[in-house]
Amino acid sequence: MSETSPSNSPLEDSPYFPYYRYESQRAALAQSYQAKQPYQHQYFEHFFDDESALAMSREFPRHSEQIWTEYKHVNENKAGLHVRERLPDLIGEVVDELNSPRFVALLSSVTGIEGLMADDSIEGGGIHQAESGGFLNVHTDFTMHRTRPNWRRRCNLIIYLNEDWKEEWGGNLDFWAPDMSSVVASYPVFLNTAVLFNTPGALHGFPDPLKCPETTARKSIQFYYYTLDESHSSSSVAHATAYYARPSDKTGKKFLIALDNVAVAVYSWLKRRLGVGDAFVSRLLRFLGRGKA
């Protein structure tokens, strides 16, 4: 999906996104976004209208292994669902809108990235949740689309749907300095907040296990946007998600993080070469887990 020009009418709007608010502030948003260091990004409060965000939060599906892909290994403990047909009605319509030409054109103008494209397959994106004890270690993102080797990942948009979330439960999205010396920005994941940031170089995550009640989960919708790149072979630019240890992590944990990086890199290669998907591996791990039980 290629970039197109946004509507010329300031009165024309979508029932799923308040374009009028953002398009009228396009220049200021672009200046704020592109000036941030060390990673270009923007944190939003009241990203949608509050009523729509609350409706999405309340229709968010419960964690069920029948429909969710499990991401459970040394570096993360969460679940995702990126099959468009299985998303709840309102969330699915919002996903379609935020993959639309008009929205992508808005993102392109804010980020300054020309030729930005949406991923209608929402590969790796979609809805995500982490329950009590869940975490995602600090990492940089994979660089290319699994099934489209000339698509380069350029920016992420994460929208949070956590009604009545308490900051003491953790889960802030942390950005770390390029040398992993310190946190350079930290954003709470309250209902109707969002973070847009350039990738894959940004070091980010929520590495401390969540302390929320067992009846609660850290819920989000995630979008990855790409540009077309014909100038390099896929082997020269294809990098898997890479995880990083914090200075405070113990030696044993640092070793396991490094070892898991090797496993993730091999798995990413298999996905590209053999077409193995996250859903298949998730089912396999659940089967093996039952065997151990």
HEC sequence for the chain? CCCCCCCCCCCCCCCCCCHHHHHCCHHHHHHHHHHCCCCCEEEECCCCCHHHHHHHHHHCCCCCCCCCEEEEECCEEEEEECCHHHCCHHHHHHHHHCCCHHHHHHHHHHHCCCCCECCCCCCCCEEEEEECCCEEEEEECCCECCCCCCEEEEEEEEEECCCCCCHHHCCCEEEECCCCCCEEEEECCCCCEEEEEECCCCEEEECCCCCCCCCCEEEEEEEEEEEECCCCCHHHHCCCCEECCCCCCCHHHHHHHHHHHHHHHHHHHHHHHHCCCHHHHHHHHHHHHHHHC
pLDDT at 266: 82
pLDDT at residue 4, as a whole number:
42
Question: Does the pLDDT at position 241 exceed 60?
Answer: yes
Write b or e for each residue in 227-243: b if 16 or more Cβ atoms lie within 10 A of its Cβ, otherwise e: bebeeeeeeeebebbbb
pLDDT band at 275 (very low <50, low <70, confident <90, very high): low
Six token digits for residue 207 = 């590495």
Give the chain's domains with CATH numbers: 19-292 (2.60.120.620)
Q: Which residue has the higher pLDDT, 168 or 3?
A: 168
- Give the β-pairing of 217-228 and 135-140: unpaired
Answering whether pTM is above 0.95, one says no
Distance, in Å, from the CA atom of 59 to the CA atom of 242, rounded to the nearest integer, reads 33
> Could you tell me which of 115, 96, 95, 93 has the C-alpha nearest to residue 105?
115
Q: Which residue has the tokens 């009846």?
A: 215
The amino acid that residue 10 corresponds to is: P
What's the CA gap between 194 and 26, in Å, rounded?
A: 17
**How far is it, in rounded angstroms, from Cα 292 to Cα 290?**
5
In tens, the pLDDT along 71-81 reads 999 999 999 99
- The count of other CB atoms within 10 Å of the CB of residue 222 is 17
pLDDT band at 92 (very low <50, low <70, confident <90, very high): very high
Radius of gyration over every alpha carbon of the chain, rounded to an integer in angstroms: 19
Per residue in 114-158, pLDDT (tens digit) is: 999 999 999 989 999 999 999 999 999 989 888 888 999 999 999
Query: pLDDT tier at 192 (50, 70, 90 boundaries)?
Result: very high
**Residue at token pair 């009523």:** 51
- Which of the four pLDDT bands, split at 50, 70 and 90, describes residue 271? low
pLDDT of residue 45: 97
Q: Sorting pLDDT into bands at 50, 70 and 90, what band is 36?
A: very high
